Amino acid sequence: MAQGFLQPCNENEEMETVGMRYLKELVSRSFFQDFEQKIGYFYTFKMHDLMHDLALSVSKNECFTVTSSKQVISRKVRHLSFVDANIVRGVLPNLIVNFDHLRTIFFPFYEERPSQSFVKSCISKFSLLRMLDLRNSDIEVLPKSVGNLKQLRYLDLACNLKMKKLPNSICKLQSLQTLILIRCEELQQLPRDIGHLINLRMLI
């Protein structure tokens, strides 16, 4: 997501290494606090209050949290976060139906599980997505239309306890770098053409 920002020291340095260098630099300058390594490249930390306020100020035109279907959302928004259960369990609300320029869709709270119809609408409407976080959803089947998200780089399907298989169309995601399938306990197998994901860097 931050490849326009990270600059490797040499051509052979991997993005994960560069990102870790930047992250440690930010920690050393007190941008983040309560920094803790979990597994591999997974870390938890809190953003300092002052940095949080600054980040909100800088990103307010591009990032937006949907808390009600009656909100007015700027056309400049590129990254949406949904926290209203009534929205994500129904159909795609009219307030974002024409936002075909979205780059990120995120559901931050486990209590607000997006429905199968909501997920299908998001995938079919927002073809320019770079990041799709569907962890802990109520979906049983990932729509075949996911293969149309040609610019998708990050797909999180963790904790989808009802999902038994992935459509083979997911193998068309030539830009996909991260695929997370943690606790997909009913998942029986990976698609037969999973090897076609030539840019995949992380499979969990």
Q: What is the pLDDT of residues 49-106, one digit of tens each?
A: 888 788 777 777 788 888 877 788 888 889 888 887 777 777 676 767 778 888 998 8
Separation CA 145–CA 116 (nearest Å): 13
Position 6 scores a pLDDT of 63
Separation CA 166–CA 188 (nearest Å): 9
C-alpha distances in angstroms, 69 versus 10, 64, 138, 150, 165?
47, 13, 20, 29, 32
pTM of the model: 0.78
pLDDT in tens, 153-173: 999 999 999 999 999 999 999
DSSP, residue by residue, 71-128: ----TT--EEEE--HHHHTSSPPGGGTT-TT--EEE---TTSPPPHHHHHHHHHH-TT
Separation CA 170–CA 187 (nearest Å): 15
Which domains are present in the chain? 16-59 (no CATH), 62-203 (3.80.10.10)
Residue 106's region, left for phi above 0, alpha for psi from -120 to 50, else beta, is beta
Find tokens 């429905």 and name the residue: 115
Find tokens 């299908």 and name the residue: 120
Residue 113's Cβ-count burial label (10 Å; 0-12, 13-18, 19+) is buried
